[in-house]
Amino acid sequence: MPQQDRADFETELGRALAAPQVRAALRESGDEARGVERLRRTARENAAYVLAAAAPEYERYALLRADADAQARLPVDAPERERASGWWGVLAVIVPIVAVAAAVVFLLLGYVLGSALVAAGWVAAGVGAVSLLVGGAGLFGAAARGKGSADGEADGPGDLVQARDAWRSALAERGLVPFLVAQATVRQV
């Protein structure tokens, strides 16, 4: 059993040992005091047998987990469209700041010195305003595209969680509880 599944097995084993059917079987056998630890040890020793009862659910879970792991290992190299959205961020944030700062400097110097810097200041202010509008529109568009793709990906992890829950339920109901009830009636010599 892979390491990542051991914790789930142990959790379900603990729940199964606390199940009313198992407790009742231990009481009937007269070994309730030491029986829990004996059953825990026996279940661990026979884990392959117990796990076989939930094999179809485990296969689905393992397949979905392998797909998710493979997806997570894909290169981070962003597609061309996603890289372009980075340029919108630059355009929306940096260019307006630089353009407005330049406009303020040019306008102040132009009015103080009475030079042609006034015209350059107004041009820089116009560039800042236009880049702010275009960049903001680009960011909204990128955010809308990102939200759409995130909504489409929401089913993947949900399927994985459902498959894991289905496996754990099958492990408890068809594997651990029946096994533990049967083992509780076996007398230790």
Per-residue pLDDT of 102-126, as tens digits, reads 999 999 999 998 888 999 999 999 9
User: The dihedral of CA 131, 137, 141, 146: what is its sign?
Assistant: positive
Q: Is the pTM of this model over 0.75?
A: no
What amino acid occupies position 138?
G
In tens, the pLDDT along 62-101 reads: 888 888 877 777 665 555 555 555 666 666 778 888 989 9
Q: Are 135 and 88 in contact (CB under 8 A)?
A: yes
Q: What is the pLDDT of residue 148?
A: 57
Q: If you count them, how many residues does the chain have?
A: 189
Higher pLDDT, 186 or 62: 62
Per-residue pLDDT at 82: 56
State the pLDDT at residue 189. 43
Rounded to 10 deg, the angle between the 80-113 and 117-153 helix axes is 160
Please report where in the chains the tokens 């469209």 appear, as a residue.
81
Q: What is the pLDDT of residues 11-58, one digit of tens each?
A: 999 999 999 999 999 888 887 778 889 999 999 999 999 999 999 999
Question: Is the pLDDT confidence value at 178 over 60?
Answer: yes
Residue 96 per-residue DSSP state: H
